Structure 1
Amino acid sequence: MPLAKETPARPRILYSCYANLSREGEQFVPEHVFSYQVAGTLLLHDGTREYVLPTGSFRLLKRNHLVKFTKQLPPGGDYQSLSVSFDEATLRAFSLEYGYQPTPQPPGPVVLELPTSPLYTSYIESLQPYHRLPQAPGDPLLALKVREALLLLLQTTPALKDVLFDFSEPGKIDLAAFMEKNFHFNVSLSRFAYLTGRSLATFKRDFEKLFQLSPSRWLVRRRLQEAYYQLKEKGKAPTEVYLEVGFEDLSHFSFAFKKMYGLAPSKI
């Protein structure tokens, strides 16, 4: 999984807490993540479907996907979640030790909402001390907690073996359909190339042959078209739209919009 390795090493067990302000953003998910929503609500959107994950819910977020997120505070409290991520080396060693062989499955939901289980609840409670401690790579106690999570997931939902131990890389897929679904994610061209099963050079060549434009120019144009629709038909404000369609900052969005449509976005 070459591009996933570009991501800096992160804690295997991660506690998130936000006070006073809800948070929005987007990210590439390079590894499977098992999470529990301690407090507040997490909204996820994968380009097609929205997932609403309230307080007390468990989920498995599948690797190699782009998601937009909104972390909403509960009334009078802080947003809190606890997550365990599974790196490929751990999963491969586990599958060899226990003899797990996945059965190929058609693409499914990006987020798997898991049933509430006393086993999950007890496990999450046992993690409380870990997220406050330094997490050195190779820490044997940490490795045991990650393996424990795998055992619990597979005992509770055996079919998860087909997700957790599928080590295939993204195959070459329909470029037009993928870009139309994911153009609003502000990620690098190399990331788009990887997720469509192509090298960067092949991605650019296929793209220009298909769209008669370079990927960068097409992305700007398509994002501005979507922004125009959101402003005119949905009545949204430019401050709501620019991040939603994939621009990094408002000034760049306003400049590009005026260049294409001859009007500032605030005039639409």
Structure 2
Amino acid sequence: MTQPPTQRLPIQHHCYYSRSREGEQFVPEHSFGMILSGSFTLNDGAHTTEFAEGDLYFCTRNQLVKFVKTPAPNGDFRSLSILLDQETLRAFSIEQQYAPQKATAPTAYLALSGSSPLKAFMESLKAYEQLFANPASEALLKVKQREALLLLLQVAPQLKQVLFDFSEPGKIDLEGFMNRNYHFNVELKRFAYLTGRSLSTFKRDFEKTFNTTPSRWLLQKRLQEAYYLIKEKRRAVSDIYLDLGFEDLSHFSYAFKKQYGVAPSLV
């Protein structure tokens, strides 16, 4: 399996030979990409969308999203993605005289038109594949990143409001947010940030709201949901533990048995 480069270059090529749910389920920067082979499934907690070979997608920053990369039968999963970091977007907005926007409840991700100049551009990037993991190529990749941004705004002009919203998350209702998003596998500092709080304030507000610590509450909430899915819905253990925010099956099984006195497979 080829891992993404450690340095976050503006254009990245991903290749996997086995099913992957890599990484934290938090999108720190805007990005968009195209599937070259296999399929890419995104889930924002409310909706699930599968992108196939040739499909284009856009992911919004500061969102919680689950993703699964599935290789093609007897093949691999490959994709090209372009990162749009805040520094690049701020410089672009000044150059193009775009006033900062305020997005209203942006979606976590969306599908882009499959028959557009943007798709032809993404196809052309295949010729640069050997440069994507080379830090010395950053200047060239920045040029391509700018071209991609200009084309993206032509294909999806409605994204201007999302791309040039440089505001940070404001303080929101903690209880409602956590009850909607406890199944995402992210660090506490991400939950704190998305609720508009420092980590220390988040922990303090959390204990006032739930009368327990965030870590204990998350574990209990996930285990309760797991018990319900296994006992009442007859779901297989292997199908649910990742979806509930557990990192591996052994950790889930240990925590479940400690809580309920029986292995999840015996419920």
Query: TM-score, normalised to structure 2's length?
Result: 0.90
Structure 1 partner of 2:21: 24
Structure 2 partner of 1:251: 250
1:202 aligns with 2:206: no
Structure 1 partner of 2:162: 163
Task: Report the Cα distance in structure 2 between the residues aligned to 1:40 and 1:11, rounded to whole angstroms.
Answer: 23
Q: Which amino acid aligns with 2:41?
A: L
Deviation of residue 102 (structure 1)? 4.3
Structure 1 partner of 2:3: none
Q: Which moved more, 1:198-207 or 1:152-161?
A: 152-161
Task: Report the Cα distance in structure 2 between the residues aligned to 1:42 and 1:105, rounded to whole angstroms.
Answer: 26
Deviation of residue 137 (structure 1)? 7.0
Q: Structure 1 residues 184, 137: CA separation in 2 closer, same or farther (over 3 Å shift)?
A: farther
Contact kept, 8 Å, 1:43 with 1:70, in 2: the verdict is yes
1:101 aligns with 2:99: yes
| Percent identity over paired residues | 53
- Alpha-carbon displacement from aligned partner over 1:175-210 (angstroms, at most 9, x marks no partner): 112111221222221111011110011101111111
Q: Which runs of 5+ in 1 are unaligned?
A: 1-7
Deviation of residue 91 (structure 1)? 0.6
1:54 aligns with 2:52: yes
Q: Structure 1 residues 201, 137: CA separation in 2 closer, same or farther (over 3 Å shift)?
A: farther
Task: Report the Cα distance in structure 2 between the residues aligned to 1:261 and 1:101, rounded to whole angstroms.
Answer: 55
Query: TM-score, normalised to structure 1's length?
Result: 0.90
Pick from 128, 131, 152 the counterpart of residue 130 of structure 1. Answer: 128
Q: Which amino acid aligns with 1:214?
A: T
Q: Structure 1 residues 85, 192: CA separation in 2 closer, same or farther (over 3 Å shift)?
A: same
Give the 3-state SS of the residue equivalent to 2:122 in structure 1.
helix
Matching of residues 185-264 of structure 1 within 5 Å: 185-264=184-263
Contact kept, 8 Å, 1:170 with 1:195, in 2: the verdict is yes
Task: Report the Cα distance in structure 2 between the residues aligned to 1:82 and 1:263, rounded to whole angstroms.
Answer: 44
CA RMSD, Structure 1 to Structure 2 (Å)? 1.8
Contact kept, 8 Å, 1:13 with 1:130, in 2: the verdict is no
Pick from 82, 85, 91 the counterpart of residue 83 of structure 2. Answer: 85
Contact kept, 8 Å, 1:254 with 1:265, in 2: the verdict is yes
Task: Report the Cα distance in structure 2 between the residues aligned to 1:251 and 1:35, rounded to whole angstroms.
Answer: 34
- Alpha-carbon displacement from aligned partner over 1:39-62 (angstroms, at most 9, x marks no partner): 221111112221221222111101
Residue-pair matches, total:
260
Task: Report the Cα distance in structure 1 between the residues aligned to 2:135 and 2:251, rounded to whole angstroms.
Answer: 40
Structure 1 segments of 4 or more deviating over 3 A?
none
Contact kept, 8 Å, 2:237 with 2:265, in 1: the verdict is yes
Deviation of residue 235 (structure 1)? 1.5
Task: Report the Cα distance in structure 2 between the residues aligned to 1:164 and 1:103, rounded to whole angstroms.
Answer: 8
Q: Which amino acid aligns with 2:35?
A: Q
Task: Report the Cα distance in structure 2 between the residues aligned to 1:31 and 1:251, rounded to whole angstroms.
Answer: 32
Q: Structure 1 residues 118, 245: CA separation in 2 closer, same or farther (over 3 Å shift)?
A: closer
Task: Report the Cα distance in structure 2 between the residues aligned to 1:198 and 1:98, rounded to whole angstroms.
Answer: 33
Task: Report the Cα distance in structure 1 between the residues aligned to 2:21 and 2:58, rounded to whole angstroms.
Answer: 20
Deviation of residue 138 (structure 1)? 8.0
Q: Which amino acid aligns with 1:139?
A: E
Contact kept, 8 Å, 2:101 with 2:164, in 1: the verdict is no
Contact kept, 8 Å, 2:35 with 2:80, in 1: the verdict is yes
Deviation of residue 163 (structure 1)? 0.9
Give the 3-state SS of the residue equivalent to 1:104 in structure 2.
coil
Pick from 4, 9, 26 the counterpart of residue 11 of structure 1. Answer: 9
Contact kept, 8 Å, 1:243 with 1:249, in 2: the verdict is yes
Structure 2 partner of 1:4: none
Structure 2 partner of 1:37: 35
Q: Which amino acid aligns with 1:24?
A: R
Q: Structure 1 residues 176, 9: CA separation in 2 closer, same or farther (over 3 Å shift)?
A: farther
Structure 2 partner of 1:118: 116
- Alpha-carbon displacement from aligned partner over 1:67-110 (angstroms, at most 9, x marks no partner): 21111222343222111101111111000000112442321321
